Structure 1
């Protein structure tokens, strides 16, 4: 008997609720809306044949609200089919360790894809462990450059088409760039980190509240892409020299302090915050070239969040490659679906299932 078509779902309960809500005018993603997004995702997944969903428990209420919605849907016994939802049995650490362990378990379970509800940091955490399993990206964070703002129902339809194999991978999926930082000398020698959008050498000496939100703190910035309509640190590159996700290169930018020589530039580095920076240099950052980082002081931030406090003897280097995660191109997937009338086939299958169920209940 063939294995059921299975999809993993990672819904970060902490995304969209960080300290930047106190320093900017960013919107808040409440627990109820995250649960509602998962419900809408289930509706899209179920129509096109996904039979099983693996997800995580949490202490904030996302899982509890999802269970309530599932119970209500089952009691109503409506015609719309949802996948069977299973919660992975693992300890709850209330940290990124939950995501790391959950994604690793989903990979072992051979899910067809992993739907991710979160911001850049959540997607970075998933990408570190997802191997070749493609990601369906949904934005629920603060500075979201990597995931898309998209209706979860529509994303679920596209995700199901990919997980079921109805749309070929070469049509539906795209490979992403990533930045790799490794420590080659010093106390942290051997440590390696990745970023999907940006790596920042910050002048701030301590991790603190993590978010890079003050323009004066930005010393050096490396970007995988820079959209002209983006937000966050990558918007600085987008305001000066936009780079597409599909471009073979990234950007390397250096900044001066206020009053130092350079080009003044304004960019939306956070929701509601358009700040000025002093751009000293901007260069193409080619793939496959390891470049030393000037890390004699300060902190290293990955995808907008400070994570490493630099030791005096540490020596880091950075490179751009094409080993980032595969992601579902929702629009391209649904265009293929329309041109091949795959939704008509889905309707025929759904009708057959309903007739079978009606016959069994007679």
Structure 2
């Protein structure tokens, strides 16, 4: 008997609720909407053949609301086909450790892909453990540059087509760049961190509330890509020298301190906050090149959040490569499905299943 077609779902209960709601005009992403997005995702996945979904429990209410929706759906006279939902058995830590452990369990279960509902930080946490399992990215966080802002139902349809192999990987998936930071000397030698969008050397000496919210804090910035219509730190690069995700290079930018001269730029570094920065230099950062970081003081931030307080004897280097996660190109996947009449075939298959079930019932 063939194994059930299985997809993992990571819905970060903390995304869209961080301190940047206090320092900018970003909207809050409520728990109820995250649960609703998972439900809509189930509808898309189930319609095109996904049998099972693995997901995580939480203490904030996403899982509880999902269970309520599943009970309501099961009570319908003629419910649409949804996958069976299973919760991974693991302790709830109320931290990023939940995501790390959950993704590792999904990889061991050989899921066809992992749908991620979160911001840049959530996707970074998933990317650290997903290997070559593709990601279906859905934005629910703050200052998002990496995940897509897209209707979950539509994303679910594309995800099912990818997980089932109906759309070839070379059509549906794209490989992403990443920034890799290594400590090569000092007390933390051997430590490695990755970023999917940006690495910032911040002048703030302490991690504190993590978010980079003041332009004066930015010393150096490395970017994997920079969209002209982006928001967050990557929007600074997009305001000067846009770089596509598919480009063979990134950007390396340095910024002036008080009194230093440079090029003034205006960029939306947070929702509702358009700030001016003074850029001293902007250079291409090539794939495969390693560069030492000026880390005598301050903190290192990854995808907009400070994580490392620099110690005097630590020495770090940064590189850009194509070792980032595979992600689903939803539009390209669905265009292929339409051009190859996969939606019509799915409708015929569903009708055949319904006729078989009806005849057995009679």
Name the CA distance, whole Å, in 2 between partners of 1:357 and 1:186: 66
Aligned-pair CA distance for 1:59:
0.2
Q: For each residue in 1:208-241, what CA deviation from the matched residue of structure 2 results, as whole angstroms up to 9, or x when unmatched?
A: 0000010000000000000000000000000000
Name the CA distance, whole Å, in 1 between partners of 2:9 and 2:96: 15
Name the CA distance, whole Å, in 2 between partners of 1:199 and 1:177: 13
Name the CA distance, whole Å, in 2 between partners of 1:208 and 1:78: 52
Match of 2:183 in 1: 183
Q: For each residue in 1:18-63, what CA deviation from the matched residue of structure 2 results, as whole angstroms up to 9, or x when unmatched?
A: 0000111101110000000000000000011000000000000000
Aligned-pair CA distance for 1:79:
4.2
Name the CA distance, whole Å, in 2 between partners of 1:78 and 1:339: 31
Partner secondary structure for residue 334 of structure 1: helix
Match of 1:144 in 2: 144
Partner secondary structure for residue 75 of structure 2: helix
Q: Which runs of 5+ in 2 are unaligned?
A: none
Name the CA distance, whole Å, in 2 between partners of 1:359 and 1:257: 76
Residue 287 of structure 2 contacts residue 319 of structure 2 at CA under 8 Å; is this kept in 1?
yes
Q: How does 1:189-208 map to 2 (within 5 A)?
A: 189-208=189-208
Q: How does 1:38-77 map to 2 (within 5 A)?
A: 38-77=38-77
Q: Which runs of 4+ in 1 moved over 4 A?
A: none
Residue 183 of structure 1 contacts residue 189 of structure 1 at CA under 8 Å; is this kept in 2?
yes
Match of 1:298 in 2: 298
Q: For each residue in 1:235-290, what CA deviation from the matched residue of structure 2 results, as whole angstroms up to 9, or x when unmatched?
A: 00000000000000000000012331111111000000000111000000001111
Q: How many residues align?
A: 362
Q: Which runs of 5+ in 1 are unaligned?
A: none
Q: Residue 34 in 1 paired to residue 26 in 2?
A: no
Match of 1:111 in 2: 111
Aligned-pair CA distance for 1:359:
2.3
Name the CA distance, whole Å, in 2 between partners of 1:348 and 1:121: 41
Name the CA distance, whole Å, in 2 between partners of 1:187 and 1:78: 62
Name the CA distance, whole Å, in 1 between partners of 2:296 and 2:68: 52
Match of 2:6 in 1: 6
Name the CA distance, whole Å, in 2 between partners of 1:261 and 1:169: 48
Name the CA distance, whole Å, in 2 between partners of 1:316 and 1:95: 26
Partner secondary structure for residue 136 of structure 1: strand
Q: Residue 167 in 1 paired to residue 167 in 2?
A: yes
Match of 1:272 in 2: 272
Query: Structure 2-normalised TM-score?
Result: 0.99
Match of 2:336 in 1: 336
Name the CA distance, whole Å, in 2 between partners of 1:300 and 1:193: 10
Residue 120 of structure 1 contacts residue 303 of structure 1 at CA under 8 Å; is this kept in 2?
yes
Name the CA distance, whole Å, in 2 between partners of 1:310 and 1:189: 12
Query: Structure 1-normalised TM-score?
Result: 0.99
Partner secondary structure for residue 76 of structure 1: coil
Name the CA distance, whole Å, in 1 between partners of 2:310 and 2:333: 43
Q: How does 1:181-330 map to 2 (within 5 A)?
A: 181-330=181-330
Aligned-pair CA distance for 1:71:
0.6
Name the CA distance, whole Å, in 2 between partners of 1:218 and 1:77: 58
Residue 258 of structure 1 contacts residue 278 of structure 1 at CA under 8 Å; is this kept in 2?
no
Name the CA distance, whole Å, in 1 between partners of 2:186 and 2:229: 39
Name the CA distance, whole Å, in 1 between partners of 2:67 and 2:351: 27
